[in-house]
Amino acid sequence: MQMLNAIIRSDRDGILVPVPQYPLYSAAISLFGGSLVPYYLEEEANWGLDFANIRQTVTEARSKGITVRAMVIINPGNPTGQCLSEGTIRELLSFCYRENLVLLADEVYQQNIYQDERPFISARKVLFDMGPPTSREVQLVSFHTVSKGYWGECGQRGGYFEMTNLPPKTVDEIYKVASIALSPNVPGQIFMGLMVNPPKPGDISYMKYAAESKAILESLRRRAHIMTDGFNNCRNVVCNFTEGAMYSFPQIRLPQRAIDAAQSAGKAADVFYCLKLLEATGISTVPGSGFGQKEGVFHLRTTILPAEEDMPAIMSSFKKFNDSFMDQYDGYGGGGSSYSRM
Amino acid sequence: MATSVSVETLNPKVLRCEYAVRGEIAIHAQHLLQQLERQPGSLPFDEVLFCNIGNPQSFGLKPITFFREVLALCDHPNLLDQEETKSLFSTDAITRAKKILARIPGRATGAYSHSQGIKGLRDEIAAGIASRDGFPANADDIFLTNGASPGVHMMMQLLIRNGRDGIMCPIPQYSLYSASIALHGGALVPYYLDESSGWGLEISELKRQLEDARSKGIAVRALVVSILEILLGRLVSMFSFVLKKDPVSKREIRCNSLRSEKELKKVYQENIYVTNKKFNSFKKIVRSMGYNGDDLRLVSFQSVSKGYYGECGKRGGYMEVTGFSTTVREQLYKIASVNLCSNITGQILSSLVMNPPKAGDASYDLYEAEKDSILESLARRAKAMAFAFNGIDGITCNKTEGAMYLFPRIHLPQKAIETASAVNKAPDVFYARRLLDTTGIVVTPGSGFGQVAGTWHLRFTILPPEEKIPSIISRFREFHEEFMAQYRD
């Protein structure tokens, strides 16, 4: 929020934000009076980036008098979970170099990776690997937190941002605003220190620490699979695998009658579905509209955090609800293979 | 390649805002500190004395034992199952920790809480407020925040729509207010406290400033009051002033209400050093005059950073919001939820501060002894320093009846003022910088807080350890006398 407040001067300053996105970005841009310039992630391409599309988006924004100042990238994504390849990050950095954008790299889920093809690589590392002039010119701000990973210390409110290639006078101004809040809370700072410098092999606590963290991450990986497979097993639901972060973001292909019913009830279609889901099963999710999605495409976001032993029951409860919802609103009963994609 | 983000392309509100407490003098002090560490003996003093920030524990103030015991147990609940714990922690701390954990979903201090803070803790705080004031308080009116400052920012964000929305602030004021108003693009409407009557508040001054602002097209939205600047008598008349100010409009803030809200900063309620005065919260006075919630929109701020607990680094505090409609409250909740919640340690501390050990509890005697010793020492330091300042030629200093600061006035000679002007510095900044470079004493120049034009002050904390105070005074006196001799007219 501090960075966006520093950058946004008026509603003619635009910030490129992925859609779907973690709504902190849209809220912050709105609060600071800027313009959100959305770039759509491609669901059929595993929530990948389409640079031709992004360039087009920037051109359109500029033609409307918007100065595009910054680009937000969330890696691994929230709610989408996709992990960026090194090649994609390079392309991103080159894009920012050419278009004169500061890259805001939200990397808070960097320790939540559930596949081995694309391990986490930081934007900063890629930037420096690219060498000059890119490595000296592209402005980058990277964000991390103690709230996620395998430590999950959300309540401590600890985190940091690291600035690369921002001029000293700008850093002074950011320091000035930070100093109004005096200091971040000290326990959060201590947690941060422990997070980046945990027990090492040979330390007394190492064995216990390694066992605890490994168990948590392995369980999260299993849960990512259970949920993805469970959703894909449901009628009219398709779900990309959760490669990272903590969420599953299945697409619910709502029948027209359901969409109409939602409209009569004065609700967005996915809100309608999620409310029905909650009422029927007690499962509380966030409708996809909260994160942004393409017109006419609906999702919900659930976390992969319920206890592993509860997962099968949760997925079967969901399936039961979804089957009966689809029976009710999808006149053709059993229509469409549950594995068909857009 | 032109850089995207540079000083030329930053948000102008960011560029405009100032925060003197950690401004130029404080930054330079950090450089000197590092220099002393790298090259001891390279400066005319061997330690940097930070008298600029109300940061008591950095000066050796010890935290309250009971509070820290409870925090430790809450953060590592495994301790509660161990036998050895009973010999290391007091029984009431163990009981309290268990009680607090029972109120936290999942017993996890590492989990996000409700955006207003954990309900059970807010209940305790509301009960604490009610027992302090004798009037009820509601847990739903409480927003737990990271220190008091975020609450102030939230209110400024809510109230300030554009540059013609004004917020009345006392001068001198804690620079958070001016910084926050600038950041949110509003207008600061000053009202001057009267130095000659011990920083008293005159209603006529309030009225004058209000009329003046309105005649310039400013919509005055709120009045900031820092409780320790107000004596009871003046408080009562000020309150009547506020009520009579405008045709009563029951419409919401967001619908362009003409009513002035009140924001009240009460964070120093435990720091009272004169025996004939007691802390009375603004809300208590308002309610005892017979005004209920609907009559006045009042926001009261409290913090765990001050008092006798001085837990600045934990970032704990709350605001109590009364008199606003449900729809406005929903907006406030929405803003609070963007940052999810305040840190849990701070939330727990707020509940402990508002519900400390009572007579009969195992920790009570130690708690009272620690508290009394701290407050008595602060009172002694306040007295000693004020007395010493008043004994120096060219300096006058009002006694401090509370809080943690002294605000001596330096009667600077014309020559000093001109020299400062020639190097483009405010005279008190110039003086403070010289003071720092010569003696290592760090203060905050009065310009950071606002002062009557042509008067110059320094803000000095009363926090250095008692044993150090005599040497601080004598070093200061020596510097001052040399400075005045150099710039004598």
Q: What is the CATH number of the domain that holds B463?
A: 3.90.1150.10
* B150: nearest Cα among B363, B302, B290, B285: B302
Are A301 and A248 contacting, i.e. CB atoms less than 8 angstroms apart? yes
Residue B246 has pLDDT above 50, yes or no: no
CB contact under 8 A, A102 and B312: no
Residue B211 has pLDDT above 60, yes or no: yes
pLDDT in tens, A7-55: 999 999 999 999 999 999 999 999 999 999 999 999 999 999 999 999 9
Residue B1 is assigned to a structural domain of this protein: no
Instruction: Check whether residue B460 and residue B376 sit in a common domain.
Output: yes
Percent of chain B with pLDDT over 90: 63
Report pLDDT for A330: 86
Among the ranges given (A139-153, A263-277, B111-125, B299-313), the one the predictor scored with the smallest mean pLDDT: B299-313
Query: A9 CA to chain B: closest CA distance, Å?
Result: 4
Give bridge partners of residue B302 from the DSSP assignment.
B318
pLDDT in tens, A91-114: 999 999 999 999 999 999 999 999
Task: Provide the total of helices (H) and of strands (E) in chain B, helices listed first.
Answer: 17, 14
Query: B439 CA to chain A: closest CA distance, Å?
Result: 25
d(CA A186, CA B438): 32
Among the ranges given (B23-27, B119-123, B142-146, B170-174), the one the predictor scored with the smallest mean pLDDT: B170-174
pLDDT in tens, B306-326: 888 899 999 999 999 998 888
What is the pLDDT averaged over residues B469-485? Answer: 94
Domain that holds residue B163: 119-353
Task: Count CB pairs under 8 A between chains A and B.
Answer: 135
Report pLDDT for B232: 39
ipTM above 0.90, yes or no: no
Percent of chain B with pLDDT over 70: 88
Report pLDDT for B240: 47
Are B421 and B29 contacting, i.e. CB atoms less than 8 angstroms apart? no
Residue B445 has pLDDT above 70, yes or no: yes
Residue B256 has pLDDT above 80, yes or no: no
* A20: nearest Cα among A57, A65, A74: A74
Query: A317 CA to chain B: closest CA distance, Å?
Result: 23
pLDDT in tens, B16-34: 888 877 788 999 999 999 9
Instruction: Check whether residue B287 and residue B409 sit in a common domain.
Output: no
First-residue to last-residue Cα distance in chain B: 54
Query: A280 CA to chain B: closest CA distance, Å?
Result: 24
CB contact under 8 A, A186 and B14: no
pLDDT band at B225 (very low <50, low <70, confident <90, very high): confident
Residue B364 is assigned to a structural domain of this protein: no
Report pLDDT for B244: 41
Instruction: Check whether residue B163 and residue B285 sit in a common domain.
Output: yes
Report pLDDT for B259: 39
Instruction: Check whether residue B90 and residue B167 sit in a common domain.
Output: no
Instruction: Check whether residue B167 and residue B300 sit in a common domain.
Output: yes
Residue B437 has pLDDT above 70, yes or no: yes
DSSP one-letter code for B272: B
Pick B5's closest partner by Cβ from A133, A147, A170: A170
Task: Name residues whose C-beta falls within 8 Å of residue B20's C-beta, 6 or more positions apart in sequence.
Answer: B175, B444, B445, B447, B448, B449
Instruction: Check whether residue B31 and residue B165 sit in a common domain.
Output: no
CB contact under 8 A, A182 and B345: no
Strands (E), B35-90: 49-50
d(CA A113, CA A202): 26
Cis bond upstream, residue A119 (ω within 30):
no
SS3 state of residue A108:
coil
Are B159 and B169 contacting, i.e. CB atoms less than 8 angstroms apart? no
Report pLDDT for A138: 97
Q: What is the CATH number of the domain that holds B98?
A: 1.10.287.1970
Report pLDDT for B261: 55
pTM score above 0.95: no
CB contact under 8 A, B22 and A182: yes
d(CA B269, CA B227): 8
Q: b or e along B84-101 (b: 16 or more beta carbons within 10 Å of the residue's beta carbon)?
A: ebeeebbebbbebbeebb
Residue B218 is assigned to a structural domain of this protein: yes
Instruction: Check whether residue B330 and residue B226 sit in a common domain.
Output: yes
Task: Name residues whose C-beta falls within 8 Å of residue B31's C-beta, 6 or more positions apart in sequence.
Answer: none
The mean pLDDT value of chain A amounts to 94
Pick B5's closest partner by Cβ from A1, A97, A139: A139
Radius of gyration of chain B (CA): 24
* B268: nearest Cα among B401, B365, B169: B401
Task: Name residues whose C-beta falls within 8 Å of residue B408's C-beta, 6 or more positions apart in sequence.
Answer: B389, B395, B396, B397, B457, B458, B460
What is the pLDDT averaged over residues A250-255? Answer: 97
Pick B5's closest partner by Cβ from A7, A27, A177: A7
Q: Which of A157, A161, A189, A216 to mutate to test the interface with B (most CBs of B within 10 A)?
A: A157
pLDDT in tens, B369-411: 999 999 899 889 988 999 999 999 999 998 776 678 888 999 9
| DSSP assignment of A219-262 | HHHHHHHHHHHHHHTSTTEE-----BTTEE--EE---HHHHHHH
What is the pLDDT averaged over residues A136-152? Answer: 96
Residue type, B454: G
Instruction: Check whether residue B155 and residue B191 sit in a common domain.
Output: yes
Nearest-5° angle of CA B5, CA B8, CA B13? 95
Residue B114 is assigned to a structural domain of this protein: no
Instruction: Check whether residue B340 and residue B249 sit in a common domain.
Output: yes
Q: Which of B353, B379, B409 is the last residue of a domain?
A: B353
pLDDT band at B59 (very low <50, low <70, confident <90, very high): confident
pLDDT in tens, A167-203: 999 999 999 999 888 899 999 999 999 999 999 999 9
Instruction: Check whether residue B224 and residue B306 sit in a common domain.
Output: yes
Pick B109's closest partner by Cβ from A7, A28, A155: A155
Q: Which of B320, B353, B386 is the last residue of a domain?
A: B353
Query: B112 CA to chain A: closest CA distance, Å?
Result: 5
* B74: nearest Cα among B101, B39, B113, B54: B101
Crossing angle (nearest 10°) for helices B91-103 and B344-354: 120
The residue of chain B with its CA nearest to that of A25 is B338
Residue A245 has pLDDT above 50, yes or no: yes
- Residue carrying structure tokens 């005279």: B427
Residue A120 has pLDDT above 60, yes or no: yes
* Helical (H) or strand (E) element with B364: helix B364-390
Instruction: Check whether residue B387 and residue B426 sit in a common domain.
Output: yes
What is the pLDDT averaged over residues B426-455? Answer: 93
Total domains in chain B come to 3
Are B95 and B357 contacting, i.e. CB atoms less than 8 angstroms apart? no
In degrees and rounded to multiples of 5, residue A250 shows phi and psi of -65, 150
Helices (H), B61-112: 65-75, 85-88, 91-103
